[in-house]
Structures are given as structure tokens and as C-alpha cells.
């Protein structure tokens, strides 16, 4: 089905930040982009928190509202740049007093409350490393990430502590300090966030920060093995800033709403850092998706730039365009989406509902910032992710039998050329927000590169106009409601249930969430498949994994295996979709060769 290109982005008023794609690409350099940052005074380096907070707090924007947080009841807390400088200064002093040093990891497990933002930026001020956890994770994924990330400090709230941390605390001897936000009492072994903050001074001079110092740790998933901790450095702020200007058309004075939770990379790069570096007001909503609330928020908060996700847009689409038309969305200037394939219908629906098309863009945890995007000034081809951001070189690499880029024994790759080229999407290293490693896993990091390219694990196509189109993931990871889920993590937990001998987990296509997690399980002798056990396994998964838990369970005493004994998820998926199973012997072979990248 053909979709007409959308040539008018519906923008009025001043021209977009990126007004002429080819001209900007031709003159762009990362060195120039870096010049938009102030750097720490006296040449003491580059620190994200200085660029996001302190430099504005010392200038004409000092009294501007930088953070406007809506709590679940709709009550508003506002912080100016000056106030945010003081609060983050206090938090940095708290860390100093606690003996938390440069490079030490400070985790958050919080709803979207002001203290989350203070924790993130205060941690960066202290040159410690901020690692946000998605609060909907269950205790298992939380423990795994705290352990892998060597958590020294955790900031959480009483409810999350009771439900998810208390039971795993003993297993985390390195976790020295737990600070509790809100509530009347602090559980034993924890400290009140408010009390310790009240005792700390607001003034804090950011110590010298090397742009290559580790700043952020985001966990992501691969096909096999544990979650991977992607390491990002302070230099990344250069990419956060410039990509927000180009791909999101963000400017000083905007009211910017990023619906992603900071537990995911989008919610940090664009849900904390980029709007602050730009002098925009960051709107934060603590509540979950709710159609009426979202339209009301867009209207009442006079949101100008909105960054959301395909699942959310598809949920809005189910209610038609009427609810949108019933609201005054005249402040809205730009709508963008990320995280999973955005169907062309949703792009076009945006035009009908908001009078603005949705601009899809593509990136991932490892890239730290938007890499491919549709821009305000450019024709949109509905269904396409757009074109590379200035300063980023993209290629499609020819693929081998395992679906990933074909790497010769000498480590070389070949670039697919010509109109409608297809291959593994690859990026030339060198942009500032590129991950600098997987924590404690140099081998996995090394495997992510070949022939001078970073291999993304996505398969894409490029049309004759230079637009990139998402084709598929080259591996078995699952994308559900925009969240990346590693099947191995889910299988491991299911196999801890006494009835389960083995599990294979896949993403089953879903019209709203993109994919949902489906598990196939083989039972141990003595257990009988049936509705009761199915329900028990679903509940078990939910207790341990929460948002990562399988939504569907099927019993299968004959799971297909590779010769080395691994469950063949690909074959399970082919069967689920009613696709040809292909040549099984080849599948077995290629699965045997598949290594976790
Ligand atoms: P994450 O690292 O959790 O941000 O997930 C990154 C992955 O999400 C990418 O490698 C893609 O598979 C998928 N993804 C992100 N943005 C898009 C998009 N615009 N279209 C299709 N897939 C996307």
C-alpha cells in the first residue's frame, strides 16, 4: 500500500532549527556542536549537569521554570533553574558526605517525581554515575541490574522498597546507602531523603570532569545472557543537545513533554538532559497512560513539543480523532515518536488529530541519542524512520546466513549499495553519545563492532531518496510497548519454577503493543499441563518479573532445539506466525553459530 509523502510539516512561524538538511549536513562538525556547550569554568572539563542546570542558573534563565511535575492527582510542583541548581547541589553534597566518589553508581527506582530529577543531576555533579531503573520491573530484574552495576546508592520510595527491594537487600552487600523519598517512616537500614537533604548545603562546585568520564549507565538486553550495562560519558551531552535541536526542533522557551520513563534511555537523554540544556520547560507527568488525562495535559500545559511512542499513539488512535479535536492543541508545534516501528497510519492520523504529522526517529540505548530522524523541514515518508542526523554516518551491511552482518575471517564487512539496499544497520563510531563499553564485559563490546562500524542488530532498507525503513530485528529480542526485553532473562526466571524443565520465549505480534511476551514451556515429569498451572506460571512470572513477565504461556513438551541444545526461538516464532519453518537443518546450524552480540 502506497502512502503519499507528507511535504508540509504543518509548522508555522519561525523556520525549523534544521532548515536545509543537505546544507546543514555539509557544514556540520561535532567540534562545532561541542562549542554550543560552555564547559566547566576555568577549563575544568565538561559535565552534563553544568550544561543542563548550573550555566542556566547563573544566567538570564535563572528564574525560569525548568521542571514542571504533575503528580498523580494533577497537583503541580515547579522548579526554577536556580532552585534546581540548589537542590542538585544539596544532593551532590549528600553523596560527598556519604563517601560516594567519582565513578560510583547511584541508582534510582522511583516514579516520575521531582526527586528523581534531583538525584540524576546531583549524581552527575558529584561525577558519580547515574543509573535509572524502570519502577515497573519486578524484584528479579532489579536485583540483577543493581548487582551488575555495582550499585552503591539507591534512591527509592517506601512502597517500591517494601515490594521490591527489602526481599533482595541481603543479596546486595555493595549497596551501602538506601535513601527513601516520601512516606512518614523510613524502613530499617534506610535513610530519609528529605532529612539528609535538609542537612546539606546547596552550594556545590562541580569537580573537574573529563568529558570521557562515565556519567550514565543504562541496561539493555541481548538475545542471550544477562542484561548489558551500556556505559555513557559526559561528552554525550553534545549529542543530546544537538539532536534535540535538529530532530525534535527543540528551542529555549518550549514546553517539552517526553512520555518515556527515565528508566529507559529516551527518558534520560530527552526526558531529563536535552530539554534542560536548551532552556526549555520539561513537563513531567507521574501518571500512566490515560486518554483523557493526556489530551488535557497537552492542552492545559500548552505543550509545544511532544516526544512519545508508537504504542501510546496507537492507544490514542483507538479513540479516533474526536477527543483530540475536542481540545485546544494550538500550542503544539512538533510531534515525534521513537522506540518501535511507527505504522504509516499513525503518521497520517497525527495530521488528522493534531493537525501535525508524527515524526518518527530511530536510535537505541547504545547510541545514546537520535541517529536517524524525520525533520520538520523535510518531506515525511510515512513508515520511514527518516534520514541520518547530521554528523552521523549510516550504512547497511551485507548479511550472512545468521541474519547479521557478514564479517570475513579478516574482520571485514561489505556495504550494501544501490537503490533499495537492505542490510544490517551500522553506524560509523565517533559521535559523542556512542556507548563506551558494556560494563564488565569487554568481549561483548568488541563483538558489537566490525570493519570500522558499530553493528546495531537491526535490519533496515534505504530508498533512493536516502530514507531508512525499519525491516526487523536481526536477533531474538522482543519489543513490547517500546520496551526491549531479553528472552533469556524471562526464560531463566520461568525455569526457576519447580514445574518448568525448559522455556522458550518469543515476541508475539500485537496490534497495539507491537509485540507481547509469549513463553513456551516444557514441564518436568509429574506436572500436568492445564489451566491451573498456566495461571500459576503467569502469576509467578508477574511476581518475579512484573513488566517483563510473559502475558501468554503455552505448554510444549517438544521444544525445538539446536544441536548444542538451545531452544530455537526463531522456529517457535515461525510456527506461531504460521510462517514456513524453513530448512531446519540450516536453522539448527545458524543458531549454533549465533553468539550473543
Ligand atoms: P532500546 O535500546 O531499548 O532503545 O531499543 C532500541 C531498539 O528499538 C532498536 O534497535 C530498534 O530495534 C527499536 N527501535 C527504536 N526506534 C525505532 C523506530 N523508530 N522504528 C523501528 N524500531 C525502532
- CB under 8 Å to 56, separation ≥6 — which residues? 62, 64, 66, 81, 276, 279
Could you tell me if residue 432 is inside a domain? no
Could you tell me if residue 433 is inside a domain? no
Arithmetic mean of pLDDT, 529-533: 97
Task: Quote the ligand 1 centre to 415 CA distance (angstroms).
Answer: 21
The torsion angle over the Cα atoms of residues 158, 164, 165 and 171, rounded to 10 degrees, is: 170
Same structural domain, 455 and 489: no
Of the residues 234, 253, 276, the one at which a domain ends:
234
Arithmetic mean of pLDDT, 357-365: 98
Could you tell me if residue 64 is inside a domain? no
Same structural domain, 194 and 272: no
Could you tell me if residue 69 is inside a domain? no
**Who wins on pLDDT, 431 or 583?**
431
Residue closest via CA to ligand 1's atom 6 equals: 364
Could you tell me if residue 48 is inside a domain? no
Give the CATH number of the domain where residue 423 resides: 2.30.38
State which of 479, 514, 548 you would mutate to test the pocket of ligand 1, scoring each by most atoms of that ligand within 8 A of its C-beta: 479
Of 5, 3, 8, nearest to 355 by C-alpha is 8
State which of 347, 370, 458, 482 you would mutate to test the pocket of ligand 1, scoring each by most atoms of that ligand within 8 A of its C-beta: 458
**Burial letters for 51-90: b for 16+ Cβ neighbours within 10 Å, e otherwise?**
bbbbbbbeeebeebbbbbbbbeeeeeeebbbbbbbbbbbb
Task: Quote the ligand 1 centre to 470 CA distance (angstroms).
Answer: 9
State which of 232, 335, 339, 383 you would mutate to test the pocket of ligand 1, scoring each by most atoms of that ligand within 8 A of its C-beta: 339
- For residue 289, pLDDT beyond 80: yes
Same structural domain, 116 and 130: yes
- For residue 306, pLDDT beyond 90: yes
Task: Quote the ligand 1 centre to 340 CA distance (angstroms).
Answer: 5
Q: What is the pLDDT of residues 229-251, one digit of tens each?
A: 999 999 999 999 999 999 999 99
Residue closest via CA to ligand 1's atom 10 equals: 364
Task: Quote the ligand 1 centre to 132 CA distance (angstroms).
Answer: 19
Going through 339-494 in order, the beta strands assigned E by DSSP cover 358-362, 372-373, 387-388, 394-397, 421-427, 437-438, 449-450, 453-462, 468-473, 478-480, 483-485
Task: Quote the ligand 1 centre to 339 CA distance (angstroms).
Answer: 4
Give the CATH number of the domain where residue 375 resides: 3.40.50.12780
Task: Quote the ligand 1 centre to 159 CA distance (angstroms).
Answer: 31
Could you tell me if residue 450 is inside a domain? yes
Give the CATH number of the domain where residue 196 resides: 3.40.50.980
Arithmetic mean of pLDDT, 429-445: 98
Could you tell me if residue 62 is inside a domain? no
Of the residues 199, 234, 269, the one at which a domain ends:
234
Same structural domain, 151 and 133: yes
pLDDT at 446: 97
Ligand 1 binding pocket, CB closer than 6 Å = 220, 265, 338-342, 360-362, 364-365, 385, 456-458, 470, 473, 479, 484
pLDDT at 12: 55
- For residue 134, pLDDT beyond 70: yes
Task: Quote the ligand 1 centre to 484 CA distance (angstroms).
Answer: 8
Arithmetic mean of pLDDT, 133-155: 97
Residue closest via CA to ligand 1's atom 19 equals: 362
Going through 463-559 in order, the beta strands assigned E by DSSP cover 468-473, 478-480, 483-485, 500-510, 514-523, 552-555
Which atom in ligand 1 lies closest to the alpha carbon of residue 342? Answer: 20
State which of 426, 484, 513, 547 you would mutate to test the pocket of ligand 1, scoring each by most atoms of that ligand within 8 A of its C-beta: 484
Q: What is the DSSP letter of 295?
A: H
Task: Quote the ligand 1 centre to 328 CA distance (angstroms).
Answer: 31
Separation between Cα atoms, residue 354 and residue 329, nearest integer Å? 7
Arithmetic mean of pLDDT, 342-352: 95
Cβ contact 53:123 at 8 Å:
no
- For residue 89, pLDDT beyond 70: yes
**Who wins on pLDDT, 422 or 401?**
422
Residue closest via CA to ligand 1's atom 23 equals: 340
- For residue 349, pLDDT beyond 70: yes
**Who wins on pLDDT, 164 or 579?**
164
Alpha helices for 308-357 (secondary structure H): 310-317, 322-325, 344-354
Could you tell me if residue 47 is inside a domain? no
Which atom in ligand 1 lies closest to the alpha carbon of residue 473? Answer: 12
Task: Quote the ligand 1 centre to 363 CA distance (angstroms).
Answer: 6
Task: Quote the ligand 1 centre to 206 CA distance (angstroms).
Answer: 34
- For residue 585, pLDDT beyond 50: no
Average pLDDT, the chain: 94
Same structural domain, 248 and 364: yes
Of the residues 187, 203, 234, the one at which a domain ends:
234
Same structural domain, 119 and 165: yes
Q: What is the pLDDT of residues 149-159, one digit of tens each?
A: 999 999 999 99
User: How many domains in the chain?
Assistant: 4
Cβ contact 245:160 at 8 Å:
no
Task: Quote the ligand 1 centre to 228 CA distance (angstroms).
Answer: 16
Please give the model's pTM, rounded to 2 decimal places.
Answer: 0.94
Same structural domain, 319 and 448: no
Residue closest via CA to ligand 1's atom 20 equals: 341
Residue closest via CA to ligand 1's atom 5 equals: 364
pLDDT at 156: 98
Which atom in ligand 1 lies closest to the alpha carbon of residue 456? Answer: 10
pLDDT at 243: 98
Percent of the chain predicted with pLDDT > 70:
96
Same structural domain, 228 and 85: yes
State which of 258, 364, 481 you would mutate to test the pocket of ligand 1, scoring each by most atoms of that ligand within 8 A of its C-beta: 364
Same structural domain, 112 and 240: no
- CB under 8 Å to 192, separation ≥6 — which residues? 179, 180, 186
Task: Quote the ligand 1 centre to 456 CA distance (angstroms).
Answer: 10
Residue closest via CA to ligand 1's atom 7 equals: 364
Same structural domain, 89 and 103: yes
Residue closest via CA to ligand 1's atom 8 equals: 339
Of 393, 288, 279, 269, nearest to 336 by C-alpha is 269
- CB under 8 Å to 381, separation ≥6 — which residues? 3, 5, 6, 374, 463, 465, 467
pLDDT at 10: 45
Arithmetic mean of pLDDT, 339-355: 95
Same structural domain, 413 and 377: no
Same structural domain, 386 and 249: yes
Task: Quote the ligand 1 centre to 260 CA distance (angstroms).
Answer: 13
Look up the domain containing 522 and give its range.
Answer: 478-596
Amino acid at each position: 500500500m502506497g502512502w503519499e509523502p507528507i511535504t508540509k510539516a504543518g509548522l508555522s512561524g519561525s523556520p525549523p532549527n534544521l532548515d536545509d538538511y543537505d546544507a546543514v549536513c555539509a557544514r556540520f562538525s561535532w567540534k562545532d556542536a561541542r562549542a554550543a556547550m560552555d564547559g566547566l569554568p576555568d577549563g575544568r572539563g565538561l559535565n552534563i549537569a553544568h550544561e543542563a542546570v548550573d550555566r542556566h542558573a547563573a544566567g538570564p534563565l535563572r528564574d525560569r521554570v525548568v521542571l514542571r511535575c504533575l503528580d498523580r492527582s494533577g497537583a503541580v510542583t515547579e522548579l526554577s533553574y536556580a532552585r534546581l541548581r540548589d537542590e542538585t547541589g544539596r544532593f551532590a553534597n549528600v553523596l560527598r558526605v556519604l563517601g560516594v566518589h567519582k565513578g560510583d553508581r547511584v541508582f534510582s527506582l522511583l516514579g516520575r517525581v521531582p526527586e528523581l530529577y534531583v538525584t540524576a543531576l546531583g549524581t552527575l555533579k558529584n561525577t558519580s554515575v547515574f543509573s535509572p531503573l524502570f519502577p515497573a520491573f519486578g524484584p528479579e530484574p532489579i536485583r540483577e541490574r543493581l548487582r551488575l552495576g555495582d550499585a552503591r546508592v539507591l534512591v527509592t520510595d517506601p512502597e517500591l522498597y517494601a515490594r521490591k527491594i527489602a526481599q533482595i537487600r541481603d543479596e546486595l552487600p555493595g549497596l551501602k546507602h538506601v535513601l527513601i523519598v516520601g512516606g512518614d517512616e523510613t524502613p530499617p537500614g534506610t535513610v530519609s531523603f528529605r532529612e539528609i537533604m535538609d542537612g546539606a548545603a546547596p552550594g556545590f562546585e562541580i569537580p573537574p570532569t573529563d568529558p570521557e568520564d562515565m556519567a550514565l549507565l543504562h541496561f539493555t538486553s541481548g538475545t542471550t545472557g544477562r542484561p548489558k550495562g551500556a556505559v555513557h560519558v559526559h561528552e554525550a551531552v553534545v549529542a543530546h543537545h544537538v539532536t534535540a535541536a535538529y530532530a525534535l526542533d527543540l528551542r529555549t522557551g518550549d514546553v517539552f513533554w517526553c512520555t518515556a520513563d527515565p528508566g529507559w534511555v529516551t527518558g534520560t537523554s530527552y526526558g531529563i538532559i536535552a530539554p534542560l540544556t536548551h532552556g526549555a520547560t520539561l513537563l513531567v507527568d507521574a501518571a500512566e497512560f490515560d486518554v483523557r488525562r493526556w489530551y488535557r495535559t497537552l492542552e492545559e500545559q500548552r505543550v509545544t513539543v511532544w516526544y512519545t511512542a508508537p504504542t501510546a499513539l496507537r492507544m490514542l488512535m483507538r479513540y479516533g480523532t474526536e477527543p483530540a479535536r475536542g481540545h485546544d492543541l494550538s500550542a503544539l508545534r512538533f510531534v515525534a515518536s521513537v522506540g518501535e516501528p511507527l505504522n504509516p497510519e499513525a503518521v497520517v492520523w497525527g495530521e488528522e488529530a493534531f493537525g501535525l504529522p508524527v515524526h518518527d526517529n530511530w536510535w537505541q540505548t547504545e547510541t545514546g541519542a537520535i541517529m536517524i530522524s524525520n525533520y520538520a523541514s523535510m518531506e515525511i515518508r510515512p513508515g520511514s524512520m527518516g534520514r541520518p542526523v547530521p554528523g552521523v554516518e549510516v550504512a547497511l551491511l551485507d548479511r550472512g546466513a545468521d541474519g547479521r552482518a557478514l564479517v570475513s575471517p579478516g574482520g571485514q564487512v561489505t556495504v550494501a549499495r544501490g537503490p533499495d539496499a537492505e542490510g544490517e544497520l551500522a553506524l560509523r563510531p565517533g559521535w559523542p553519545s556512542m556507548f563506551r563499553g558494556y560494563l564488565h564485559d569487554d568481549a561483548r563490546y568488541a563483538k558489537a563492532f566490525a570493519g570500522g562500524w558499530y553493528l546495531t542488530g537491526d535490519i533496515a532498507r534505504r530508498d533512493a531518496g536516502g530514507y531508512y525503513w525499519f525491516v526487523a530485528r536481526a536477533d531474538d529480542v522482543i519489543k513490547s510497548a517500546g520496551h526491549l526485553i531479553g528472552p533469556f532473562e524471562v526464560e531463566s526466571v520461568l525455569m526457576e519454577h519447580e514445574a518448568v524443565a525448559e522455556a522458550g520465549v518469543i515476541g508475539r505480534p500485537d496490534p497495539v503493543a507491537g509485540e507481547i511476551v509469549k513463553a513456551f514451556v516444557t514441564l518436568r515429569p509429574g506436572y500436568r499441563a492445564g489451566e491451573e498451572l498456566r495461571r500459576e506460571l503467569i502469576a509467578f512470572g508477574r511476581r518475579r518479573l512484573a513488566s517483563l513477565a510473559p502475558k501468554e504461556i503455552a505448554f510444549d513438551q517438544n521444544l525445538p532445539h539446536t544441536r548444542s541444545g538451545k531452544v530455537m526461538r526463531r522456529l517457535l516464532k515461525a510456527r506461531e506466525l504460521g510462517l514456513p519453518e524453513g530448512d531446519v537443518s540450516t536453522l539448527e546450524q545458524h543458531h549454533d553459530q549465533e553468539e550473543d552480540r
